[in-house]
Structure 1
Amino acid sequence: MTQTDAAAGAPESPVAVVVMGVAGAGKSTLAVALAERLDAAFIEADDLHSAEAKTQMAAGVPLTDEDRWPWLTRVAIRVRDEGQAGPVVVACSALRRVYRDMLVRDSGLELVFVHVHGSDEELAERIGQRTVHFMPTSMLASQLATLERLDVDEHGIVIPLVMPIEKAADAAMEFLG
């Protein structure tokens, strides 16, 4: 980056944000809002699941780590490719630390995690209200069992899912600086 770019307020490196959490948390809604505010590319990680994985989840069968690795690889590659062109925001469950570490490593970007989280009851209610998604409410327990909250050494913030979307986006933007 040239001195002129720095003086103009251009970021040192492209912004790469992963809006994470279990099904029903509102990852996609918040990620779209952040992508609009950042004038960033938006990636819906659910779209990168294989047809087999979607069928498996729709049948109420949780994915294993072995099922998730190829999907996470596709997500990381897409984040890397989009991130080379500019800011990128991805809605991705990223439930375990090892998944998040892999996304950072394989994307080659410094990722910021925005974890949308709420109570089991709030999440179940939100999943139950969806009509066009492959993930049934019965899968919530397995996702919550898999979920590892952000560690203190991970670059991220937790946003309550009950926070109105505009306020959630404001809080995430404030964290991003």
Structure 2
Amino acid sequence: MRVQDSYSEFPVRAVIVMGVSGCGKSTIGRHLAHLLGDAPFIDADTLHSAENIRLMESGQPLSDSNRWPWLKRVREEIERASSKLLEGHDSSLRGARRIIGSSPLFSSSSWLGGRGERLYVVCACSALKRSYREFLSRGDPENAKADRLTHDTVFAFVDVTKAELERRLRLRKGHFFDGRLLDSQLETLDPPDVTREAAVVVYGEGSEEQVAADAYRQVCNYVTKNSL
């Protein structure tokens, strides 16, 4: 079964803008959040531990043991923001997973009680490996209690050439990421397969506004095709 075949059961869409450092995911994510109705925005860089930041500042690549606790914090923040969005909406939406197919809230002609409203949370996170993306979208398979209750996930991969990434990182000031780490990130990167993952690809070498607008069009088209 393709991943996206099950992606229509939740009242909140989490859009994760992903890619290696320098692709512009944080700025694009902020623009995208605005286009999606001033959606809550989470910058995963702000959730790194002091140890992770120290390692990256010194030019040492992060290992899985460094990344997994960080990814857990990212997922928790997405869940927290999604839950907060649902406050003030019909509480039955929290049971969408159980009532899907029987509730008029999710008919093809309505959304959230017929108000024509979609709820989004946007997050900028590298999400380099497929295993990371599966965790962010599905939770911990060994912990049923950690399974998400409120949100569905779509990834927007910002694809930028290595030469352009290098140029941007040389110019970037005030960020803890050491540009020497780019090669290790590119080696780790497992670009999403849009035929198997809930993902779209945007080419990130236009202006930030243009890239965000492209992401917005593709995400909206994806959600429309994969919603009941």
Fold similarity call, TM over 0.5? yes
- Structure 2 residue aligned with 1:141: 183
**What is the rounded CA distance, in whole Å, between the counterparts of 2:57 and 2:32 in structure 1?**
28
Identical counterparts, % of pairs? 42
**What is the rounded CA distance, in whole Å, between the counterparts of 2:197 and 2:170 in structure 1?**
31
- Structure 2 residue aligned with 1:101: 134
SS at match of 1:53: helix
Root-mean-square deviation over aligned CA pairs: 1.2
- Structure 2 residue aligned with 1:118: 160
SS at match of 1:171: helix
Deviations 1:53-109 (Å, cap 9, x if unpaired)? 000011011000111000000000000110123321111000000000000122723
SS at match of 1:132: coil
Higher RCO structure, 1 or 2 (CA under 8 Å, sep 6+): 2
- Structure 1 residue aligned with 2:112: none
Aligned with residue 164 of structure 1, among 207, 219, 222: 207
**What is the rounded CA distance, in whole Å, between the counterparts of 2:65 and 2:211 in structure 1?**
33
Matches within 5 A, 1:11-50: 13-38=11-36, 39-50=38-49
The two structures have a TM-score, normalised by structure 1, of: 0.90
SS at match of 1:57: helix
Matches within 5 A, 1:43-62: 43-62=42-61
Quick check: which has more Rg, 1 or 2?
A: 2
| Conserved? CA contact 2:200–2:219, under 8 Å | no
Deviations 1:110-145 (Å, cap 9, x if unpaired)? 111111111111001111111110011100000000
- Structure 1 residue aligned with 2:217: 174
Q: CA deviation at 1:166?
A: 2.0
SS at match of 1:15: strand
The two structures have a TM-score, normalised by structure 2, of: 0.70
**Higher deviation after alignment, 81-90 or 97-106:** 81-90
**What is the rounded CA distance, in whole Å, between the counterparts of 1:174 and 1:160 in structure 2?**
13
Instruction: Give the counterpart letter for 2:185 in structure 1.
Output: Q
- Structure 2 residue aligned with 1:6: none
SS at match of 1:149: coil
Where does the alignment leave 5 or more consecutive residues of structure 2 unmatched? 1-9, 86-119, 140-146, 221-228
Instruction: Give the counterpart letter for 1:170 in structure 2.
Output: A
Where does the alignment leave 5 or more consecutive residues of structure 1 unmatched? 1-11
| Conserved? CA contact 2:32–2:212, under 8 Å | yes
**Higher deviation after alignment, 47-56 or 77-86:** 77-86
Q: CA deviation at 1:15?
A: 2.2
Q: CA deviation at 1:173?
A: 1.4
Matches within 5 A, 1:54-93: 54-86=53-85, 87-93=120-126
| Conserved? CA contact 2:15–2:121, under 8 Å | yes
